[in-house]
Amino acid sequence: MPVMPSALPPSDPVSLQRERADWHGALQAATLFAIDPAGMVGVRLRAPAGPVRDCWLDLLRRLLNLEGLRRMPLSITDERLLGGLDLTATLAAGHPVAQQGLLAEVDGGVLLLAMAERLPAATAARLAMVLDQGEIHLERDGLTQINRTRFGVVALDEGIDADETLTPALRERFALDLDLSLIAPRTAVADADDGQAWLASADDILDARERLAGITVPEPIIAALCASAQALGIDSARACLLALRVARASAALDGNAEVTEDDADIAARLVLAPRATRLPPRAEPEQEQEQEQEPEQKQAPQPEPQSAEPPPQDQPEPEPPAESPPEQTPDPQTLEDRVLEAAQAVIPAGLLAQLVTGSLLQQRAASGKSGAAVQSGLRGRPAGTRRAVPNGSQRLHVIDILRAAAPWQILRRAQLPPGQAASNRIQVRAEDFHIRRIKQKTGTTTIFVVDASGSAALHRLAEAKGAVELLLADCYVRRDQVAVLAFRGRSAELLLPPTRSLVRAKRSLSGLPGGGGTPLAAAIDAAALLADSLRRKGQSPVIVLLTDGRANVARDGSGGREKAQAEAMQAATRLRLLQAAVLLIDTSPQPDRMAAQLALTMHARYLPLPHAGAAAMSQAVRAAMQSGA
């Protein structure tokens, strides 16, 4: 039973085939990851919670022969993550006893990061540090330890927007990047029911691991992988190393002693393609078109890809058409072309458009966009401790309490009534109490909402860009952030998620599109949403709206000045309820009643600046921040 089109209601054969090809790639990735989880560092698995993701995880679990994968919650503390003092044991023993953290406990296994798109930057940086060094350097609570630990990570990324994803600091370190969000459950489940073990069994994985260390890589293969990475615009040297490891795992699975070209193809598809930032210069436009329609045409490098595409499910070998004898001395140029082609073939169609505008560079995690507010006094980053008796919302810092109490133990025991003096319990008094100090970054985030519609758009955007950069250069001492929303055509787009990095702002704002209608209501809604989520994270938002106030596109995308204006006013009223500081800069050549009225409705400060330069604008914003934030 080579294919099962009859078993499934095939709505659209092309997309179904693509889906199956994607799913096959995902299974291949799981198999290779199981062989060398620590070497491949991690997998980013972008998929909503659901049967497809469960199916993939279940397969991985079976391949690894594990009962369950170790989960790491988002809110994990440094103590549990890295290790620290074991309080119960310390108190019982009377001397410090160390406790291992999650990262040490998961040694040799696989760590599951739930909701990875919301992983805080601080936690991600600690994780990256441990992954890089293969050991945990612990300098906490009076303990100094170095623990070796090697593990792989599966990051479950449930983000919806392109911006909402795992932080690049980790994504860059992970070899594999899978997107299962377009795979229908029936594709995955049908496969799981039918041919569970058609890629490999847990025993195959164990065998492959044994072989892994002995596998050699011919130099032309290394060269081809590096050249492909360069052609695809991948800067990091890590990508090539990771591709090499994937190729090695693939060779080990096939039982080869040496990495073959097929292994290199697989590595290029799984590791290099998702990282591409541009298409190779040689690719002609027609070729791109062709790919957009039928990416799987080139999926398999063999001459008859269509017939070879869906592998027979009862065949144990993952690469059924790999029988073609490996050439002994492949010409480096053709090898490079071939590897590159393999990678190029799986670059998703939608990505092509993104690649052209270079907007892929913008991908980043806006760590936690919405979400419930945490109880005050408990959020923020640790900032030491101080001596105080806690009230309801503060946490005790037990180790510092012990430190404060320790020198007095002999005296205090001597003062105890005779019957209790012998007990070696630690005597703690109220004056020993220390509470954790937690500092919350209460910086300001300035949200620029820029009208990019109409003919003056380019000019206004350039000014806004200048103002953003001036503000960032000026404000980063105070840890202020800047975000940019642009609106044009039918909707508003978050061009620059809140950031304090000047470098990133420059990159994201370098190529701004302009022109089209004015969807003012949608823009105000988007700004209000962003302001609200920022406030939930403890930031004070300041909204700077650059517009002439002449809306002509309604929320549903339809034209019509009247409806658009009415909706804009509605949105403005709602924004007022947020009570955020708003500055409306009227950019029209002749200051207009509409904009002034809009400002009044949203309780904004109104500033007609028909030819606002970057400097004037940043000054006005600073004034608004001081009064409003």
Find the binding residues for other proteins in span 469-488 (CB under 8 A). Answer: 469-470, 472-473, 476-477
Residues 501-530 that bind other proteins (CB under 8 A): 501-504, 506
Told to check if 337 binds other proteins by CB under 8 A, we report: no
Told to check if 430 binds other proteins by CB under 8 A, we report: no
Between residues 132 and 193, which has the closer beta carbon with respect to other proteins? 132
Bridge partners, 110 (sequence order): 152
End-to-end CA separation in angstroms for the chain: 67
By CB under 8 A, name the one of 63, 402, 564, 583 that touches other proteins. Answer: 402
Buried b (16+ CB within 10 A) or exposed e, 511-537: ebbbebbbbbbbbbbbbbbbbebbbeb
Find, among 565, 563, 620, 621, the residue nearest to 598 by Cα: 565
Q: How far is the CB of 136 from other proteins (least distance, A)?
A: 8
Sheet strand arrangement including 176-179: 70-72, 110-113, 152-157, 42-46, 176-179
Told to check if 257 binds other proteins by CB under 8 A, we report: no
Told to check if 572 binds other proteins by CB under 8 A, we report: no
Told to check if 281 binds other proteins by CB under 8 A, we report: no
Told to check if 122 binds other proteins by CB under 8 A, we report: yes
Residues 347-386 that bind other proteins (CB under 8 A): 381-384
How many residues of this chain interact with other proteins, rule: CB under 8 A?
Answer: 79
Residues 146-205 that bind other proteins (CB under 8 A): 146, 148, 168-169, 172-173
Told to check if 229 binds other proteins by CB under 8 A, we report: yes
Q: How far is the CB of 252 from other proteins (least distance, A)?
A: 13
By CB under 8 A, name the one of 407, 417, 418, 419 that touches other proteins. Answer: 407
Told to check if 89 binds other proteins by CB under 8 A, we report: no
Sheet strand arrangement including 581-586: 491-499, 481-488, 444-451, 540-547, 581-586, 605-608
Told to check if 321 binds other proteins by CB under 8 A, we report: no
Burial class (CB within 10 angstroms; exposed 0-12, middle 13-18, buried 19+) of 405:
middle
Told to check if 142 binds other proteins by CB under 8 A, we report: yes
User: What are the helix and strand counts (H, E) for the chain?
Assistant: 25, 17
Q: How far is the CB of 609 from other proteins (least distance, A)?
A: 18
Integer Cα distance of 429 and 412 in angstroms: 9
Find, among 376, 409, 414, the residue nearest to 395 by Cα: 376
Q: How far is the CB of 319 from other proteins (least distance, A)?
A: 23
Q: Which two tokens stand for residue 219?
A: 């130099």
Q: How far is the CB of 509 from other proteins (least distance, A)?
A: 11
Told to check if 44 binds other proteins by CB under 8 A, we report: no
Bridge partners, 447 (sequence order): 483, 543
By CB under 8 A, name the one of 51, 96, 233, 305 that touches other proteins. Answer: 96
Between residues 352 and 616, which has the closer beta carbon with respect to other proteins? 616
**Residue 372 φ/ψ, nearest 5 degrees:** -70, 150
By CB under 8 A, name the one of 281, 325, 392, 410 that touches other proteins. Answer: 410
Between residues 125 and 416, which has the closer beta carbon with respect to other proteins? 125
Told to check if 121 binds other proteins by CB under 8 A, we report: yes
Burial class (CB within 10 angstroms; exposed 0-12, middle 13-18, buried 19+) of 562:
exposed
Integer Cα distance of 365 and 355 in angstroms: 19
Told to check if 462 binds other proteins by CB under 8 A, we report: no
Told to check if 406 binds other proteins by CB under 8 A, we report: yes
Told to check if 40 binds other proteins by CB under 8 A, we report: no
3-state secondary structure at position 423: coil
